[in-house]
Amino acid sequence: MFCKKCGSIMLPKSGKGLECSCGYSESGNIKLKESGKNHDMIGIAEDKEVLPLTDAICEKCGHTSAYTWEVQTRASDEPATRFYKCEKCKHTWREYK
Ligand SMILES: [Zn+2]
Ligand SMILES: [Zn+2]
């Protein structure tokens, strides 16, 4: 911002507005850019296991309990794919048909 009177650089006044060394001042709201307010950090809580446990044998460690959930893959008229995640070793596999 330059002074409309003398053309030199105006400095921000305490409070609001700009002030030049020549005495000319311009009032107005100096809006400080508030960045970083919009956080799109609503991520998926992956660490929280809220999945139901079911009886399934893990092919990796032989554990007999696994978390299970269904994923609707392609078209909605197709059956959902069932996934399992070993409670013990976190090995994940899909249901074999
Ligand atoms: Zn000035
Ligand atoms: Zn396992």
Domain segments of the chain: what residues? 1-31, 53-94
pLDDT category at 41 given cuts 50, 70, 90 is: very low
Closest by CA to 96, choosing from 67, 57, 61, is: 57
Higher pLDDT, 72 or 33: 72
* Ligand 2 midpoint to CA 92 (Å): 8
pLDDT band with cut points at 50, 70 and 90 for residue 40: very low
What is the average pLDDT score of the chain?
Answer: 79
Of 96, 88, 85, nearest in space to 50 by CA? 85
Please confirm, yes or no, whether 87 is among the known catalytic residues: no
Q: What's the 59 CA to ligand 1 centre distance in angstroms?
A: 79
Residues in the chain: 97
Both tokens of residue 38?
């919009």
Q: Report the top-level CATH class of 53-94.
A: mainly beta
> What architecture (CATH level 2) is domain 1-31?
Single Sheet (2.20)
Q: What is the pLDDT of residues 11-36, one digit of tens each?
A: 988 777 889 999 888 876 545 544 44
Residue 95 known to be catalytic:
no
Q: Tell me, what's the pLDDT at 13?
A: 83
CA distances from 83 to 18, 51, 72, 78, 93 (A): 63, 11, 11, 15, 6
Banded model confidence at residue 77, pLDDT cuts 50, 70, 90: confident
Answer yes or no: is pLDDT of 37 > 50: no
The answer to pTM > 0.85 is: no
Q: Which residues surround ligand 2, an ion (CB under 5 A)?
A: 58, 60-61, 63, 86, 88-89, 91
